[in-house]
Every structure is written in C-alpha cells, then in structure tokens.
C-alpha cells in the first residue's frame, strides 16, 4: 500500500522472484487504464469477470491471474468502483491509483510495470470501454502459449468508428510509416506482452511515451490477431480531436527526425528560388525593363519569414522534447495499490 515510484526507473526483478515464464498455465494480468470511466466500469468488470472465470475454469490460465484497473487520476467515482470491485473479490480484481492524470500511455505503463512487478507471465492491455472485442483474448493466449512474446490485436473492421476517426487514424499511420517509424497498422493498445517483452519495455525511459511505436522495436517473435472493433459501451471518448492531434504529433516527433530534414530541404529550395529571382532581376535590368518590385519583395519577405517560423517551430518541438527528457521526471506516481 505504499507509494511506488515510476517502475521504469527501478526495474523490477520479477524473473528473479518468480522463476521462468510459465507458458502452460500462465498468470495473465488484464490491464485497463481508466480515466473517468465510472459510467461503464461495472459493466466492463462483469464482462471481464465472465471471461476470467471461463479461462480459469478451463485451466487455460492460472488462478493467480488478475484484472488490474489503473485509475488515471479520474475526477469521478472510478476509484471507488475499483475499490468496491477489489473488495468484492480480492483474488480477481486489483487496482492502481495514480496520483494525477498522466494520460493513457503513462497509465498503461504504470499498469504493465505493476503486473511485471507482481510476477505475471504475460499482460494483456485493453481499453476500459470494451471497444475491443474481449473474445480475442483466447487467441492472444493461444499464441502466447505457442511462443509469441508480443501479440497484437488488429482491427479488421472499424465500422463502428466515425468516418472522421477512421480516416484520420489511417492518414496518421501512413504518415508515421512514411516518416520511417515502425508500426502495426490498425493496432491500438490492445495487445499481449510476455514478461520477457515487459522486461525489455521497462528499459525504455522516455517521458514522451508512444507505446505503439516502441513495442514493434522490441523485436521478438510476434503475431497478430484480428478482431472487430465495436462501439464505446458507455460514456464518451476521452480522445477528442485536440488530444488526437497532439497524440499524433507526439508519436511522430518521438520516433522520427524527418521533419527536420524537410525543413532543411525547404530551406535549400527557398534559397534556389531566391538565386533564380536574382538572376532574373539582373537579366531584366540588362534589357532595361523597369521592375515593379513591390509584389515580389513582399512575397519573398512573407515566404522566407514563414519558412523561418515553421523551422523554428519544428526545431522547438524537438528541443522541447530534449528538455522534457533531460529532466528524467517519473512518468507517473502510484498513490495506492490494491
């Protein structure tokens, strides 16, 4: 029940504590970050509990498995519901309460690192709104038993998402790949990670966390499981447009420095244009034409000014990241653990 600091900085030695990974009857931790999910949490718990029991009863997973909710500094009754669930069955429900809202990625990491520290064989991360089909879990576990260290849940259909969300997401993944970063298209954070993979993840100390980009770089034997993404069961999306855009920028600038080379390229082009204009001016002077200079002058001033500002903005984006990383702040702080 004591405060725990960001586990990433004090890598737990789970493997030392609990011996080798058990792939026969693994201890699975279901990790669900929750931010203001009070409305639908009880339903989510019910659905997961049924899944949990069916897996335990058929001997697919060990009784030591847990459903772990991470309260990401919610302002509603989320934590009291988690506490109630924990009291209703301590052998199934666990909870981690962050002291402050740190965002989906950090909350998820807090949950995964807790699962690792508790000695899980694998952790499955999913959203608290159950948009991702819980039944895919069976195949996740099957693949884990066959030796995969990471199993990605991939959305085969996004019929239930709005047209806007579908298309912006698709555009984002295209840009992300084009920028030279690795991702699994149509995979969000619904995935299974073995203890081995979690151990590897614990060594990533970046503050600007973008798990979808990090996990593919871990390597290992992986596989994909396709499922249909449904509608949010209750409450509304915690990812409004503004958050989606900042998440996208975060993802790109955390994984690629290509925008910097674009700026350099644009700068070179702009210099070439200036040289061409200079030659044009000289030539037309030679022919004795008067130059109506105002237009071209204003255009170039604005163009160059704009380019400089954009460049500074992009450079600033990276400098800001360096600043954040150099502080080595803990990415979350756990207030209570159940």
Site stretch for ligand UDP (CB under 6 A), options 82-90, 101-109, 217-225, 269-277: 101-109
Nearest to 3 by CA among 118, 105, 114: 114
128 binds, among Mg ion, ligand UDP, none (CB under 5 to 8 A by kind): ligand UDP
Please report, for residues 67, 123, 135, 294, the alpha-carbon distance to residue 192 in angstroms, rounded to integers and kept in the order given: 14, 6, 13, 63
Minimum distance, C-beta of residue 37 to ligand UDP, in the bound complex (Å) = 5
102 or 158: CB nearest Mg ion: 158
Per CB under 6 A, 35 contacts ligand UDP: yes
Per CB under 5 A, 6 contacts Mg ion: no
6 or 72: CB nearest ligand UDP: 72
Q: Which of 60, 72, 133, 186 binds ligand UDP (CB under 6 A)?
A: 72
Site stretch for ligand UDP (CB under 6 A), options 53-61, 99-107, 198-206, 209-217: 99-107
Question: How far apart (Å, rounded) are the C-alpha atoms in residues 331 and 324?
Answer: 11
Minimum distance, C-beta of residue 78 to ligand UDP, in the bound complex (Å) = 8
Q: Which of 121, 129, 132, 186 binds Mg ion (CB under 5 A)?
A: 129
Element containing residue 188 per DSSP (H, E): strand 187-194
Query: Phi and psi for 106 in degrees, rounded to 5?
Result: -70, -40
Per CB under 6 A, 239 contacts ligand UDP: yes
72 binds, among ligand UDP, Mg ion, none (CB under 5 to 8 A by kind): ligand UDP
Question: How far apart (Å, rounded) are the C-alpha atoms in residues 84 and 90?
Answer: 10
104 or 331: CB nearest ligand UDP: 104
- Please give the angle made by the CA atoms of 156, 161 and 162, to the nearest 5 degrees: 135
Instruction: Give the pair of three-digit tokens for residue 334.
Output: 């756990």
3-state secondary structure of 306: helix
Site stretch for ligand UDP (CB under 6 A), options 208-216, 234-242, 293-301, 330-338: 234-242
Question: How far apart (Å, rounded) are the C-alpha atoms in residues 135 and 48?
Answer: 10
Question: How far apart (Å, rounded) are the C-alpha atoms in residues 220 and 197?
Answer: 8
104 or 191: CB nearest ligand UDP: 104
Find residue 30's DSSP bridge partners: 67, 124
Q: Is 99 within 8 Å of 198 (Cβ atoms)?
A: no
63 or 75: CB nearest ligand UDP: 75
Please report, for residues 46, 110, 135, 145, the alpha-carbon distance to residue 54 in angstroms, rounded to integers and kept in the order given: 12, 27, 11, 17
Per CB under 5 A, 131 contacts Mg ion: yes
Q: Which of 65, 114, 118, 131 binds ligand UDP (CB under 6 A)?
A: 131
Q: By CB under 6 A, name the binding residues for ligand UDP.
A: 33-35, 37, 72, 101, 103-104, 107, 127-129, 131, 237-239
Q: By CB under 5 A, name the binding residues for Mg ion.
A: 127, 129, 131
């Amino acid at each position: 029940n004591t405060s725990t600091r960001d586990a990433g900085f004090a890598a737990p030695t789970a493997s030392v504590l609990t011996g080798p990974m058990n792939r026969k009857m693994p201890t699975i931790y279901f990790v669900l970050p929750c931010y203001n999910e009070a409305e639908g949490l009880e339903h989510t718990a019910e659905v997961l509990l049924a899944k949990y029991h069916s897996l335990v009863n058929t001997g697919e997973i060990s009784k030591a498995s847990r459903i772990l909710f991470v309260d990401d500094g919610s302002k509603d009754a989320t934590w009291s519901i988690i506490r109630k669930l924990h009291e209703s069955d301590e052998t199934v429900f666990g909870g981690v309460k962050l002291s402050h809202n740190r965002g989906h990625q950090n909350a998820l990491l807090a949950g995964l690192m807790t699962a690792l520290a508790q000695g899980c064989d694998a952790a499955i991360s999913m959203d608290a709104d159950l948009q991702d089909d819980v039944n895919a879990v069976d195949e996740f576990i099957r693949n884990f038993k066959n030796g995969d260290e990471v199993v990605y849940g991939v959305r085969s259909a996004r019929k239930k998402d709005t047209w806007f969300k579908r298309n912006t997401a698709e555009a984002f993944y295209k840009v992300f790949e084009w920028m030279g970063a690795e991702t699994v298209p149509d995979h969000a954070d619904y995935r299974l990670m073995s203890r081995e993979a979690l151990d590897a993840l614990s060594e990533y100390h970046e503050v600007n966390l973008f798990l979808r980009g990090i996990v593919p770089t871990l390597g290992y034997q992986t596989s994909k499981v396709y499922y249909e993404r449904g509608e949010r069961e209750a409450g509304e999306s915690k990812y409004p447009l503004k958050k989606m855009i900042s998440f996208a920028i975060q993802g790109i600038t955390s994984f690629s420095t290509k925008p910097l080379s674009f700026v350099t390229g644009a700068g070179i082009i702009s210099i070439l244009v200036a040289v061409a204009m200079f030659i044009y001016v000289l030539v037309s002077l030679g022919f004795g034409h008067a130059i109506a200079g105002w237009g071209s002058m204003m255009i170039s001033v604005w163009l160059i000014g704009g380019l400089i500002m954009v460049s500074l903005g992009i450079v600033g984006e990276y400098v800001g990241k360096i600043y954040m990383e150099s502080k080595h702040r803990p990415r979350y702080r756990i207030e209570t653990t159940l």
